[in-house]
Amino acid sequence: MNHIKEIHAADFVAVVQSGVSTQKLQEAVEKRGLFYPPDPASRADNFIGGNVATNAGGPRCLKYGVTRDYVLGLEVVLADGAILHVGGRTHKNKTGFDLTRLFVGSEGLLGVVTEVTLKLIPLPPFRATLAAGFDSMKSAVCALQKILAGGFIPSALELADAFTLAAAAKHTGNNRLGICRAYLIVELDGQRKSIHSELPAVERVIRRHKPLFVERGCGNDECEKIWQIRREFSDALRATGLMKLNEDIVVPRGKLEELFKFTAKLQKKHNLPIACFGHAGDGNIHTNVMVDFNQPRARQRADAALDELFRQVLAWGGAITGEHGIGLAKKRWWPLAVSKKVRKLHSTIKTALDPKGILNPGKFV
């Protein structure tokens, strides 16, 4: 189940079994000058099958889209044991209903994915990264919005808040992070000459918002050094000794600043740190409620904070999950997130495909 069956450079297609790790696939296709963009942070430890089940994202999804956008075809075992092949290997396909994408993100509730045909694209020849510290989240968000307004679509636009940065400074010894209230990472990719002219243009936009510092990385090695810091955020938060309840809410992009203001209030009200970082370009922020379960009523306070957060996100037209799914962890908020009619349609489809309810039972549907 962990075999890359085919990488076809002219068709721009890979066929992989569902147990192939995302990183293994990416490394294999990049050797051939090809690119599989979706990049969940845990790409070394997760698998294409799981990526399909959750419609996994990652930083690069801002420019390149999520797992869904790369699935051309699937082999799926249905509840009755039938082996189904949906989609195909063409980059466009309008043959019937979009069954492929009905299975993508269905969290194992409609079938078991055993093989995936993926779209590949040409590997961008060059990349460059900017990382900037700010003394306010407002400035960082404003810089982010001005970059997009300038017609740039970076391959990543990530933000981190003060709590995350303090933890990262302590964990990594990078003291500069500790003085910031916000940290913005912008990555550009494409042709080398283009990136060399776009990088200073984006840096000028950032500098207009008075950053405390700006770091530049050109080419893979320098970029990876900056991303190494970003990848430490989760470990740094865990190293605080607090339990990290990692949510993945999404707000409409224009609500980013309000989201950070709201979580700041929420922290005070419930006396719990909330560490926010993530894919700000998509409005998709990992909001980590940090809990010390030795403290009185810790679970209740965390739940109350999450409940308030989710209600506010939904009131803004946001979503309670951008890349993790509902599963068990968010089952409680499922009736809040979607209408009764939408839940009914989920049941209709689930019952039609899995009448005995044997696939991943007990989850949100």
CA 339 – CA 337 distance, rounded (Å): 7
- Check if the beta carbon of residue 275 is closer than 8 Å to that of residue 161: yes
* CB-count burial class (<10 Å; 0-12, 13-18, 19+) for 103: buried
Q: Which residue, chain included where needed, has tokens 């506010």? A: 312
Binding residues for a copy of itself restricted to 170-229, rule: CB under 8 A:
190-191, 193-194, 197-198, 201
Among 31, 208, 210, 254, binds a copy of itself (CB under 8 A): 254
Minimum distance from residue 360 beta carbon to a copy of itself (Å): 13
Between residues 38 and 273, which has the closer beta carbon with respect to a copy of itself?
Answer: 38
Binding residues for a copy of itself restricted to 257-316, rule: CB under 8 A:
279, 282-284
Minimum distance from residue 338 beta carbon to a copy of itself (Å): 6
Count of CA atoms in the C-beta half-sphere (13 A) of 246 = 14
CA 358 – CA 355 distance, rounded (Å): 8
Binding residues for a copy of itself restricted to 61-80, rule: CB under 8 A:
61, 65-66, 68-69, 78
What are 10's two structure tokens? 């002219």
Minimum distance from residue 335 beta carbon to a copy of itself (Å): 11
* 99 contacts a copy of itself (rule: CB under 8 A): yes
Between residues 102 and 212, which has the closer beta carbon with respect to a copy of itself?
Answer: 102
The sign of the CA dihedral 29, 31, 34, 40 is positive
Angle of CA points 4, 19, 29, to nearest 5°: 35
Q: Which residues contact 58 (CB under 8 A, 6 or more apart)?
A: 38, 39, 40, 41, 43, 279, 323
Minimum distance from residue 219 beta carbon to a copy of itself (Å): 14
Between residues 69 and 174, which has the closer beta carbon with respect to a copy of itself?
Answer: 69
Minimum distance from residue 253 beta carbon to a copy of itself (Å): 5
Among 251, 272, 275, 290, binds a copy of itself (CB under 8 A): 251
Binding residues for a copy of itself restricted to 151-170, rule: CB under 8 A:
151-153
Binding residues for a copy of itself restricted to 309-328, rule: CB under 8 A:
317-326
Q: Which residue, chain included where needed, has tokens 């075992």? A: 77
- Check if the beta carbon of residue 211 is closer than 8 Å to that of residue 159: no
Binding residues for a copy of itself restricted to 129-148, rule: CB under 8 A:
145, 148
